[in-house]
Chains A and B, each alone.
Chain A
Amino acid sequence: MSETNLLEAKCVTMNFGGLTAVANLSFELKKGELVGLIGPNGAGKTTVFNMLTGVYSPSFGTIHLEDELISKLPPYRITQKGIARTFQNIRLFNQLSVTDNVRIAFHTRKLYPIYNSIFLTPNFFKQERAIADDTKALLSLLHLEERAEDKACNLSYGQMRRLEIARALATGPKVLLLDEPAAGMNPQETEELTALIALIREKFDLTILLIEHDMTLVMKLCERIMVLDYGIQIASGTPLEIRQNKRVIEAYLGEEV
């Protein structure tokens, strides 16, 4: 395995009963890359995310993060090892405040033993204060500081999307998986999001895998694009190559008769 590969999936297959959602998929993410994962609806893109994060355990194949096998680990262990995600259909903790949504995710990396919170040791207060500070910084970076004490369910749509990103960042990821971050956004919001993704990538030294249907965003941001159709990778290459790829055009527009 090459040194620069941060994440490597080898011959990954996911079967649900008789249905093969993803077949024999192999790819790698190099450190610092921003890769797009596109394909028509039902192509298996979200299934790939679910396998990478441990929600599904692949039927066949292996996934390695920094040369460590992760495809058999439960989701929380994989998150702790450095893969974070956002959801296509926003899944915030709706009844909790914006701050608490982020703080929950921070706790994965700032650990104090449980007896610290029972006996209220100085370490407990120190850690909690540090988390409070980091939460504030993260919220202001994502322009959510004014909504910090509001319940997550009262945010606007765009704010919810940003909070999902904030929450994922709080887990301290090496790899960030964004599942349709621009879904339902207007062109102006999409443009702001594009800038935001570029910013956090720089600031947090992230490797990003992005599912997106908005081609302007994908073409602008991604250095490399993978195309899935019916669970099979049909193309991979630079945005320019993908735009001209015949099989991709067929998959999106249907075969010419």
Chain B
Amino acid sequence: MAPLCLIKKEGVEMGLFIQQIVNGIALGSIYALIALGYTMVYGIIRLINFAHGDIYMLGAFVGYFALTTYKLPFGVSLALAMLIPALLGMLIERVAYRPLRKAPSIAVLITAIGVSLLIENLAMLWFSPDPRPFPQIFPLRPLELSGIRVSIPQVIVFITAVILMMALNFLVQKTKVGKAMRAVSQDKEAASLMGIDINRIISLTFALGSALAGAAGVMVGVIYPRIQPLMGVMPGLKAFVAAVLGGIGSIPGAMLGGLIMGLTESLVTALISSTWRDAIAFSLLIVILLVKPTGILGKSMREKV
């Protein structure tokens, strides 16, 4: 995913710096949406769901077909791009992960990688590997705010992401499903003895995480209008880094981690060079694992005996 192309000038002006912060926030809110899925699934069944980046890709394609083939309005397309990945996420959990609920975690992890490869290759088969232009629904004309140019797509992406994250927070903190999710993530057996259907809660967690990833897929189409079947690989990995950075299992951590990743990428591109972008983004993972393995907002977890 290339941040908005900016021609590098000699020396970096203040305006450019702030401009890159704006770009970073837009990109970061997309990472945050994807990272939430990683962190929620990890929180509840201790699995790094490597197929999550591909769910995001599918969201982009659902949005693409809804907007172009079916000519649906943006809101409906976005809703579909959340709904269909949500159902797919539940299906994947049901057929691929649930039978392995009692298997060693490495078996589930390898299965997740397998699912990821399966989705990528099916997508190449069905959608063809060629990139497609994502329809431009919002005017590209930038808004000028005292010298800083904010494009309308960026504003839309940021606002949508914030609304979705607020909705998620409400769901997790205030509703019975959210409370059940938190209970299951702490003690599955005790939760089931409080009358909670664990399988249903795990299923819903996948649905929620996948819906957010699907939304992120549409968001990315709005800012960087090119989609293709392997587009989920890099952002998937980076969102994973973001989730670890913020503290895997922590929902605010995923949001923060996503923003940090987005900002780092934009600023590295502007201040150093875009060739260093990914190297520095992934170095962050190494640094955080060395300095604070639980992540910025993560709690140290005692191994349960």
The reply to whether B175 and A87 contact each other, CB–CB distance below 8 Å, is no
Q: CB distance A75 to B182 under 8 Å?
A: no
Tell me the bound Cα distance from A192 to B190 in angstroms: 26
Are A79 and B183 CB-contacts (below 8 A) given A107-B176, A117-B175, A128-B174?
no
The segment from A36-44, A97-105, A209-217 that touches chain B is A97-105
SS of B interface (majority): helix
Taking a contact as CB atoms closer than 8 A, the residue among B180, B189, B299 that contacts A104 in the complex is B180
B186 at interface, CB cutoff 8 A: yes
Question: Please, how many angstroms separate the alpha-carbon atoms of A201 and B270 in the complex?
Answer: 69
In the complex, B197 has a CB within 8 A of chain A: yes
Chain A residues closer than 8 Å to B171, beta-carbon distance: 117-118
The chain B residue sitting closest to A120, CB to CB, is: B170
- Residue pair A55, B179 in contact (C-beta under 8 Å): no
The reply to whether the CB of A13 lies closer than 8 angstroms to some CB of chain B is no
* Size bracket of the B interface: 20 to 34
> A91, B194: Cβ atoms under 8 Å?
no
Let me know if A104 and B177 touch, CB within 8 A.
no
Q: What is the CB-to-nearest-CB distance from B207 to chain A, in angstroms, rounded to a whole number?
A: 10
Residues of B within 8 A of A103 (CB): 176, 179
Q: Which residues of B lie under 8 Å from residue A95 when comparing CB positions?
A: 182, 186, 299
- Residue in B179, B180, B193 whose CB lies within 8 Å of A79: B193
| CB-defined contacts of B174 to chain A, threshold 8 Å | 117, 128
Nearest residue (CB) in B for A118 is: B171
Say which residue of A118, A124, A128, A167 sits within 8 Å of B194 (CB atoms): A167
Residues of B within 8 A of A53 (CB): 193
Residues of chain B contacted by A171 (CB below 8 angstroms): 194-195
A245 near B: Cβ within 8 Å?
Answer: no
Complex CA distance for A167 and B186, rounded to whole angstroms: 15
In the assembled complex, B187 has its CB within 8 A of some CB on chain A: yes
Which of B186, B187, B195, B198 has most chain A Cβ within 10 Å?
B195
Which A residues are CB-close (under 8 A) to B204?
Answer: 114
Contact A93–B176 (Cβ < 8 Å): no
Q: Is A74 an interface residue (CB 8 A)?
A: yes
A85 within 8 A of B: yes
Q: Min CB distance, B78 to chain A, in Å?
A: 15
Quick one: which of A85, A94, A104 contacts B179, CB cutoff 8 A?
A104
Q: Which of B182, B187, B196 contacts A108 (CB 8 A)?
A: B196
B192 within 8 A of A: yes
A75–B182 CA distance with the chains assembled, in angstroms: 18
Cα(A96)–Cα(B172), bound, Å: 12
- For B198, the chain A residues whose CB sits under 8 A away are 76
A91 CA to B190 CA, complexed, in Å: 7
Pair A107/B192 contact, Cβ less than 8 Å: no
Residue among B174, B186, B187 with most chain A CB within 10 A: B186
Q: Which residue of B lies closest to A96 (CB)?
A: B182
A87 to B192, CA, bound (A): 13
Q: Are the C-beta atoms of A75 and B193 separated by less than 8 Å?
A: yes
With A76-B192, A76-B195, A104-B196 in contact, do A117 and B177 touch (Cβ < 8 Å)? yes
A108 near B186: Cβ-Cβ < 8 Å: no
List, sorted by A's number, 6 A–B pairs whose CB atoms are closer than 8 Å. Answer: A79-B194, A91-B189, A93-B186, A100-B182, A104-B194, A117-B176
Q: Write the residues of chain A forming the contact surface with B, with a CB cutoff of 8 angstroms.
A: 53, 55, 74-76, 79-80, 84-85, 87, 91-96, 100, 103-105, 107-109, 112, 114, 117-118, 124, 128, 167, 171
B interface residues, Cβ below 8 angstroms from A: 171, 174-177, 179-180, 182-183, 186-187, 189-198, 204, 299
Seed contacts A104-B194, A117-B175; 12 additional CB < 8 Å A-B pairs:
A79-B193, A91-B190, A95-B299, A96-B182, A104-B182, A107-B176, A108-B194, A108-B195, A114-B177, A118-B171, A124-B175, A128-B175
